[in-house]
Amino acid sequence: MPVLLSLAAATAFSVAAALVYLLTDRRWGLRVLDHPNERSLHTRPIPRTGGVGIVAGVAAGGWTAVVAGSVAAPPVWLFLCAAAVAAVSFVDDLRGLPAVPRLAAHVAAALGLIAVGVAPGALEVPGAVWAWPAWVGGGVALLGTVWMTNLYNFMDGMDGLAGGMAVVGFGALAVLGLVGGRPDFAVLSLVVVAAAAGFLLFNFPPARIFMGDVGSSTLGFLAAAMILWGNQEGLFPLWVAALVFSPFVVDATATLLRRALAREKVWQAHRSHYYQRLVRVGWGHRRTVVLEYLLMLGCALSALLANRASVPVQWTVLGAWVLAYVVLGLSVTRLERRAGGVR
């Protein structure tokens, strides 16, 4: 199994890195430029089709795992739904699409997950499980998948950030799969890690290329799909996976709620995510992304340790992270005030 894991991961990394490198070449027709706008932190046009390399790497690594026999029954539903999200997102990167067809594609992909039965059957918190009707589980899966797909896109606004979350987040899922005795789940998670790492070679600050919607939306969807699948297999409760990806979930959700309460147009581009605010007060891309990486690693390690821990330990971990996020949010606001009220 270690050889097969390495083979699948090496394939995903190599394909992603090679294709992303080619996509940085201005002679390629797919070299679509991302021009700075009111949401951007970059100041010059950057190619934004790097996600094509991620998608190709995941596909190549997944196929290698199937051929090598490390995935006995390939989850065709996972690849088909992810491909649908990737295709619509790719068109959006090339030509630009209205929100309605993009959202429709996300909903359709989420319904595809529900159709194969990966919707959660209960609400599980440390020490307690509450079963709910199938329609409730379906609603949770639908809303959770659509939100995860979009929030990952929202958080893809700084060099190295979304790629780093993929490496750490799916890396934690891979460990959970191995510990839980599901090597197929672990292999596919590791394939995503490797493909994201291949892209990250060219995206770490200063970035030479962005992943675009085709990368961020697909990674967000894959995160939701793998979380639902792992939960269905009993590898972890949903709250453990939510903790793993909480650096993105908390920032995106808190920012959306804060803007909604301020009666701002939440659908418009902006630069008010916490990571964007840190960059704007003078932290810069590298310092901010390193802090985010430390936060991601802390959340992932805490989730891995808490997954099989006692109930008191699990509640302690959750409570500690709630407090930590409150402190982090207040700290960003304090830095802004010291910097002269930059918003």
| Neighbouring residues of 280: CB distance < 8 A, sequence distance ≥ 6 | 41, 271, 342
Q: Which two tokens stand for residue 191?
A: 């394939």
Q: At what angle do helices 284-306 and 311-338 cross, to 10 degrees?
A: 170
Collect all residues with Cβ–Cβ distance below 8 Å to 310 and sequence separation of at least 6.
none
User: Is the pLDDT reported for residue 38 higher than 90?
Assistant: no
* Confidence grade of residue 342 (pLDDT, cut at 50, 70, 90): very low
Q: How far apart are CA 163 and CA 111, in angstroms?
A: 26
Q: Where are the beta strands (DSSP E) in the chain?
A: 33-34, 46-47, 122-125, 128-131
Q: What's the pLDDT band for 263 if we cut at 50, 70, 90? A: confident
Structure token pair of residue 83: 């491909």
When mean pLDDT is compared over 115-124, 219-228, 265-274, the highest value belongs to: 219-228
Residue 41 has pLDDT above 60, yes or no: no
237 with 119: CB under 8 angstroms?
no
The answer on pLDDT for 47 being more than 60 is yes
pLDDT in tens, 87-125: 999 999 888 888 899 999 999 999 999 998 899 999 999
Q: What's the mean pLDDT in 44-65?
A: 88
4-8, 36-40, 63-67, 336-340: the lowest-pLDDT one: 36-40
Q: Is pLDDT above 70 for 126?
A: yes
Supply the pLDDT for residue 44.
Answer: 59
Q: Indicate the domain borders of the chain.
A: 2-246
Global pTM?
A: 0.92
Among candidate residues 93, 2, 3, the one with its CA nearest the CA of residue 53: 93
Averaged pLDDT, 45-61: 90
- Please check whether residue 275 is in contact with residue 292, taking contact to mean a CB–CB distance below 8 angstroms: yes
Task: Quick: pLDDT tens for 138-156.
Answer: 999 999 999 999 999 999 9
Q: What is the mean pLDDT of residues 246-267?
A: 89
Checking if the pLDDT of 45 tops 90, the result is no
Instruction: In whole angstroms, give the CA distance from residue 221 to residue 239.
Output: 17
- Phi then psi dihedrals of residue 123, to 5 deg: -95, 120
